[in-house]
């Protein structure tokens, strides 16, 4: 069993997973590398995730030094949740639940696809472990599939997933 821990800089690596597209470091118009939040905003497929990060007051954290690995659900992944779930989570009185869900999508450090494929778990910033499995070249994180890997940002890496991860 191999686990990714939040204090393991040896997990920093490079690699590309199967047919998934490896991203390049995103940069702004001045050539400066963009952070995770700006990279997600620019991608255009994470509007719900960005709104949730704002509602949970996590923007400053994810724009911080890092590094972070974010398993980022697409807008389609959020839309697949039961009706009303996202709207309920975005309410101010549910901020702590939302923070718990969002931080369950974040691992401290940089975990590239190659490293994830060699592991069977990773400890999230939220405190619980994600289960990582690889089958036929596809990486699964809990019940979600990584659909695009290794999108590098100035303070970490984003892996796009097709489902929203829910902590226990």
The hierarchical CATH code for the domain 3-161 is 2.30.180.10
Could you tell me which residues come within 8 angstroms of residue 16 by beta carbon, excluding any fewer than 6 positions away?
22, 113, 114, 149, 150
> What contacts 24+ positions apart, CB below 8 Å, involve 94-98?
95/55, 95/56, 95/57, 98/52, 98/55, 98/56
Helix (H, G, I), strand (E, B) or coil at 85: helix
Name the pTM for this structure.
0.82
pLDDT > 90 fraction of the chain, expressed in percent and rounded: 75
Tokens, residue 148:
């695009």
Q: Report the pLDDT value the prediction gives residue 42, as an integer from 0 to 100.
A: 93
pLDDT at 32: 55
Q: Kindly state the average pLDDT of the residues 46-74.
A: 95
Q: What percent of the chain has pLDDT over 70?
A: 81
Structure tokens at 168: 């226990």
What phi and psi, each to the nearest 5 degrees, are found at residue 35? -80, 180
Q: What CA dihedral angle connects 16, 20, 25 and 29, to 10 degrees? A: 160
């Amino acid at each position: 069993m191999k686990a990714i821990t939040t204090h393991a800089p040896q997990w920093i690596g490079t690699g590309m997973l199967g047919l998934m597209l490896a991203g390049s470091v995103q940069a702004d118009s001045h050539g400066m590398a963009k952070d995770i939040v700006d990279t997600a905003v620019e991608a255009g497929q994470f509007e719900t995730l960005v709104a949730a990060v704002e509602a949970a007051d996590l923007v400053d954290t994810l724009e911080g030094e890092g590094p972070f690995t974010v398993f980022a659900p697409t807008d389609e992944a959020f839309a697949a949740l039961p009706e009303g779930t996202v709207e309920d989570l975005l309410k101010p009185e549910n901020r702590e639940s939302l923070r718990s869900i969002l931080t369950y999508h974040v691992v401290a450090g940089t975990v590239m696809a190659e490293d994830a494929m060699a592991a069977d778990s990773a400890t999230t910033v939220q405190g619980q472990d994600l289960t990582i499995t690889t089958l036929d070249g596809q990486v699964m994180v809990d019940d979600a599939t990584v659909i695009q890997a290794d999108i590098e940002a100035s303070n970490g890496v984003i892996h796009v997933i097709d489902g929203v991860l829910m902590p226990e």
